[in-house]
A and B are shown apart, each in its own frame.
Chain A
Amino acid sequence: MTAKDLNKISRENLWFNNPIFIQILGICSTLAVTNLLTNTLIMTLGVTFVAAFSNLTIAFMKDWIPRKVRMIVQVLIISFYVIIVDILLRAFLPEISKNLGPYVGLIITNCILMGRAEAFAQSNPPFPAFWDGLTSGIGYMWVLMTIAFVRELLGFGTLFGFPVTPSWFPQWTIMVMAPSAFFLVAILLWIAKNRMTGGKA
């Protein structure tokens, strides 16, 4: 595996094959917290950490896992890392851990993790698998951070909790509520598709 291959993996995961744009995968566990940037950042960092290390572990262990039970083994490896994230958050960021509520645990069922484990880590050496998990996580992070940026700015008039909009600026209640997240994902998806195909899809 050369630097060129790694470069290709990053480009695929960050843009051309971005898990959200192409596959609409894995938005379940994080979309719910995208009304605040801080929560989104912590959640997506957690997903990136779990994706990178579970891919690494699965790539190391793939020869010892019987094919028939590989799914359940993958889920167990993923849950192991999610438990680590949960314990770290409880210990160092108790406030945020409380705000995120059930969504940290839901990283386990994030489809990106199982998807990357099946599609990449099962058939590749450990280091590229780690890189693939890391870049998938970052590709996921930037899209959700964009959504959170719009939602927090228009919904609360703040960024990372600091007020930025002038006081006469109306706060859009819809941005705080669930439907806006669906609309924003759809709009981003539209823009991304048009850019990728040069507008003639």
Chain B
Amino acid sequence: MSPQIAPLSLFFASIFTSNILLANFLGMCSFISISKDYTSSNGLGLAVTVVLTITGVVNWAVLHYILYPLGLYYLRFIVFIIVIAAVVQILEMVIDRLSPALYMTLGIFLPLITVNCAILGAVLFIEIRNYTLGQSAIFSLGSGLGWWLAIASLAAIRKKVDKAPVPAGLKGPGITLITIGFMAMAFIGFSGMLQVQ
């Protein structure tokens, strides 16, 4: 594909125009249920950003130094999932040891993250688009921040929407999806400035 992308534009594109959630629909499951509460949304957003950045880089290394040389490319889905699960587990233990306070806020979200589509999705994008190590790190950090920004803003908007008179059938997930649709339009509005495929 195109390994020649300026790091800064890759970073901003992965946050805004190619937002992993609003443009690629990844990580929706926990997005809708968690965004009811602003504090949890922030916690989950932070956790996703941290895990995504680490797994993006680790999986890049696994892909280039283990899977390609050994010809095990067809096993990549299983290997990626195992690496993600392992990173999440290790991170959980490290945080528990180093900072019990942080563990209290992040701890409950970490197990959820293993099956968060955004994490595996970003890793698969890195593989398909042939990013270099540096680009993978920037892309996964940007995608994590983009996901965090999206869930934190949705949680804030939902607080207001809760008070609005909404038709009965649209209450709950329905109006949330419409809100997400408008957010997606706003984010995609930046795509005239940057575009990364």
| Chain A residues close to B by CB (< 8 Å) | 24-29, 31-32, 72, 75-76, 79-80, 82-83, 86-87, 101-102, 105-106, 108-111, 114, 177-183, 185-186, 189-191, 193-194, 197, 199-201
Contact = CB atoms under 8 A, between A and B. Distances in A.
> Looking at chain B's contact residues, is the secondary structure mostly helix, strand, loop, or mixed?
helix
Contacts of A83: 74-75, 77-78
A190 B174 contact: yes
A176 to B, nearest CB: 11
Nearest to B111: A71
Contact of B27 (A25, A28, A105, A197): A28
Nearest to B21: A28
Given A109-B120, A183-B181, A186-B175, A32 B25 contact: yes
Interface of B: 22-29, 32, 74-78, 80-81, 85, 114-117, 119-121, 124-125, 127-128, 167-171, 173-175, 177-178, 180-182, 184-185, 188
Max chain B CB contacts within 10 Å: which of A31, A32, A106, A201?
A: A106
> Looking at chain A's contact residues, is the secondary structure mostly helix, strand, loop, or mixed?
helix
16 contacts: A24-B29, A24-B177, A28-B28, A28-B117, A75-B81, A106-B120, A108-B77, A114-B115, A180-B181, A182-B178, A183-B178, A186-B175, A186-B181, A190-B169, A194-B169, A201-B168
Contacts of A197: 169
A189 B22 contact: no
A32 B117 contact: no
B22 A76 contact: no
A102 B180 contact: no
Max chain A CB contacts within 10 Å: which of B167, B178, B182?
A: B178
Contacts, number: 123
Nearest to B124: A102
A38 to B, nearest CB: 18
Contact of B177 (A87, A105, A178, A189): A189
**6 interchain residue pairs of minimum CB distance:** A102-B124, A182-B181, A186-B177, A28-B117, A179-B184, A193-B169
A194 B168 CA distance: 8
Max chain A CB contacts within 10 Å: which of B22, B74, B128, B174?
A: B174
B64 to A, nearest CB: 17
A150 B89 CA distance: 43
A181 B28 CA distance: 13
A74 to B, nearest CB: 10
Given A24-B173, A190-B169, A79 B29 contact: no
A28 B26 contact: yes
A129 B145 CA distance: 39
B115 A75 contact: yes
A52 B77 CA distance: 19
